A and B are shown apart, each in its own frame.
Chain A
Amino acid sequence: EAGVAQSPRYKIIEKRQSVAFWCNPISGHATLYWYQQILGQGPKLLIQFQNNGVVDDSQLPKDRFSAERLKGVDSTLKIQPAKLEDSAVYLCASSSPDRNYGYTFGSGTRLTVV
């Protein structure tokens, strides 16, 4: 089966600019997650979708971050305006709705804000 696809792989932007990341989950996986991983830390959940509805966005900085999942498949995560502390790897993962199912992660997007 094809894995979780993410793009771009790397992005360098100046602070106050905007950026968008794209994710295509494994076919048939209804649940999609965006995680932020700061250097030296474990991944932290930003937002969780079930089909095209938001299940949990409690840790998403909503003043600057937004995410959508149109038609319950692909998803985009946007940051506007970016801050220096947003420099991190942004990971997308997908999972079956079965709670006993594991996660599959994409390769991530490394964002550097200068």
Chain B
Amino acid sequence: AQKVTQAQTEISVVEKEDVTLDCVYETRDTTYYLFWYKQPPSGELVFLIRRNSFDEQNEISGRYSWNFQKSTSSFNFTITASQVVDSAVYFCALSKGAAGNKLTFGGGTRVLVKP
């Protein structure tokens, strides 16, 4: 069985602070994909990143960066210089086998960025 744990339920920061969201996963599969999604108050899921189990390279995209460590089964997400528009719920998710397979989501972390 697969499991995704986001230990932080809510994080509150002041604008321009950095914030790191933790994600720990469990799977017995050797091929899997990890995702991060942003869910603003409107509800839709905004895709942020996909990473497969064979690619441990960290990635940076603008103010967003991701740290994938298979040794600790973690896929953490950092927002640098946070902005009010970053306020949302962020979900980490896992699919086995292929990127288009069903997802197992973590519990989500609500990020509140105060001006």
Same complex: no
B residues bordering A, Cβ < 8 Å? none
